[in-house]
Amino acid sequence: MSETIISSIQRPRLASTLTADGGGHSDATSGFNSTAFGVICGIGASLFWASGYPAVRHGLNAGFSPAELELHRYLWSGLAFLPFVMRAGIKDLNGIGWGRGIVLTVLGGPVFALIGYAGLLLVPLGHGGVIQPSSATLGGLLLAALVLGEKLTTSRVVGALIIVCGLVVIGGEAVATIGANGIVGDLLFVLTGLMFATFGTLLRLWRIAAMPAAAIISVLSLFALPVHWLLGDFAQMTALGWRENLLQAVLQGVLTGPAAMYLFARSVVLLGAGRAAIFFSLIPLFVLLLGWLAIGEVPSTVQLIGLVIVLLGFQLAQKTEGAQRVVVHEGWSK
């Protein structure tokens, strides 16, 4: 999961990220501040991404449907990004192309979100917060080897096997305590994880930078608005009041989306791809912590055991050899 995003993030010029002295070298204080800020950005990105899970759970409990939550997830960021996409070139989506843009939107847009939100209707928060990122990591490793020709190192294979063991532990809880609905819910998160892995692999294969891709997905997702209007109405959203809608707009439309991506991109620039990758392993931990603190959903002992196993697998699976590749797509060039 980490490599599919890291290697598609456009790296700004080095001069823009360092404060140099008269001789052209950053001093020790500047280097320390840059490292500290990179760590803060990485933790903030993981926290923002993780916040989406309890936010969805709260929204479902409050009375939102998955489709209404999906609308909050992409509507506001789509409207914000629309002027930039128009200026960059709507005809070919700034060189990305409509065909590729639509494929990326299916894999990382409303369809992806709806499946994940439906999963939270069936299983505990901890299942989604651990299974989806883990499946994305496993799928990313496999697709990197099959599609991009990357070598699967021993540490990555061992890490992947450990992650699978953690998923079996969590899946076993679904079988034992929830039944068929639990199995379906867990499989939905496996599906969304694999969708995200495919999305990230295509970003690398097509050499598309992450931020422009996020903007394109948000804008193309605006087509879901008339579909929602035709298939339903906004009465339920209105009845829930402005506070609940504002909460989802901020958490889903801002923090979980563009804000998290921007912060992670900054952490890659300031810390390097290898060190920034570690922040992805914080997402499952933050999901369980936020679920407990924010909405009172206490993780079970089995979920905690599965989490520890998965985190161990993450550490091995994310080890890199040599420098990470960085896509050089120029983004918003016009």
Report helix, strand and coil shares of the chain as percent, to nearest 5.
Answer: 80, 0, 20
Model-level pTM greater than 0.85? no
On the 0-12 / 13-18 / 19+ scale of CB atoms within 10 A, 322 is exposed
Helix and strand totals (H; E) in the chain: 16, 0
Among the listed residues 118, 31, 71, the one whose alpha carbon sits nearest the alpha carbon of residue 234:
71
CB 111 within 8 A of CB 221: no
pLDDT recorded at residue 32: 61
pLDDT recorded at residue 61: 93
pLDDT recorded at residue 323: 40
Q: For each of the chain's 334 residues, which pLDDT tens digit applies?
A: 555 555 554 433 323 333 334 444 445 446 568 888 888 998 999 999 999 999 999 999 999 999 899 989 999 999 989 998 888 888 888 888 999 999 999 999 999 999 999 999 999 999 999 999 999 889 988 998 899 888 888 888 999 999 999 999 999 988 888 888 889 999 999 999 999 999 988 988 998 887 888 889 999 999 888 887 777 767 788 889 999 999 999 999 899 988 888 888 888 788 876 677 778 888 999 999 999 999 999 999 999 999 999 999 988 887 655 444 433 333 343 4
Q: How far is CA 98 from the centre of its chain?
A: 22
What distance in Å separates the CA atoms of residue 326 and residue 304, rounded to the nearest whole number? 35
